[in-house]
Amino acid sequence: MKNPDEPLFDEGDIKDGSGATAHRAVRERIQQLADKQPYAVLCVQGEGQPYGALVAFAFSEDLRHAVFVTPVATRKYRLLSECDHVALVIDNRPNKPDELMEIEAVTVTGRSQMIERGGEFDQWAELLVTRHPYLKSFVKAATCALFRVDVVRFLHVARFQEVNQWIPSAHS
């Protein structure tokens, strides 16, 4: 059986069906959403129980990685320690129900990894702090852990049910 986080489709399966142009368009829309929205819902799981929490995030330029930070004395930290399969939901939903068709959302699936201090820590921390300068001392705090999500796929949703997938590793 296929690993659920392995690609389900290859490039030709992209819904728009128009090849490279279409995938660039979706990538741009994902990029736009990731650039505009500072916060995402982080989805984690443990012992059969799903759990969600808001996090401030930043993506690497190639969209292959996202970073976020959490205090260690939290449920999400414990669950992340148990299971590295995660999702991030990023959206631009307004507060008015009649604007449903304006909503764009992207679900990012991937694997999380805690970045130990030293080594690459400063580089990933800088990525997050550049986007969220007010988190500088939070990221530095000894009781906070920095996580990197290695993205497997993006699922972009627009116009209520129009869904496109983009897999960064397939389009380097």
Partner 1 sequence: MDSERPLLIPLDAPGHWDEQIVGGKAAKLAQLACGGFDVPRGFCLTTWAYQTFVKDAGITAAIRMELGRKSMDDMRWEEIWDAALRIRATFLAQPLTRLLRETVAAGLRGFDTSTPLAVRSSAIGEDSAGRSFAGLHESFIGVRGRQAVEDAVRLVWASLWSDAALLYRKELGLDPAHSRMAVLVQEMIYADRSGVAFARDPRDIGKEHAVIESVPGPCSLLVDGVVDPDHWELDRKTHGIIAWLPGQRNDAEDDAPLLESRELEHILETLLSVEQLFGWSPDMEWTGRSDALTVLQARPITAAALDEDEKRTWCLTLRPGDARLKQLRKRVAEQLIPELEAAGQALAAEELNLLDDQQLADTIVQRSAAIANWKKIYWEDFIPFAHGVRRLAMYYNDAVQAEDPYEFVGLLRNQPLVAKQRNNAIGQLAQQLAANDVLRSAVERLLAQCAGSLHWPTFRDSLMRIADGAENFLRGFDVLNERFLDIVYDQERLHDQPEPMLRNLIELSRAPYASLGDESVAGVSVAALEKRLLDAVGPERRDEALDVIETGRVSWKLRDDDNLLVARLESQLLRALDVAAKRLRAVGRLSGEVHPNDAHVEPLVRALREPTTCPVTLELVAKVRPKDLSKASPGETPRQLIGQPASPGVATGAVRCIHGRGDLGKFRQGEVLVCDAIQPTMTHLVPLAGAIVERRGGMLIHGAIIARELGIPCVNGVRNAAEILKNGTLVTVDGHLGIVTVGAAEFDLELGVECI
Closer residue to partner 1 (CB): 30 or 86: 86
Tokens of 19: 């090849």
Smallest distance, partner 1 to C-beta of residue 5, A: 24
54 makes contact with partner 1 (CB under 8 A) = no
52 makes contact with partner 1 (CB under 8 A) = no
Element (H, E) at 85: strand 85-91
With contacts defined by CB under 8 A, name the span among 14-22, 71-79, 98-106, 160-168 that binds partner 1. 71-79
Nearest residue to 59 (alpha-carbon basis) of 34, 40, 78, 42? 34
C-alpha angle with apex 17: 27 to 111, nearest 5 degrees?
A: 45
83 makes contact with partner 1 (CB under 8 A) = no
| CA-derived radius of gyration, the chain | 16
Smallest distance, partner 1 to C-beta of residue 60, A: 20
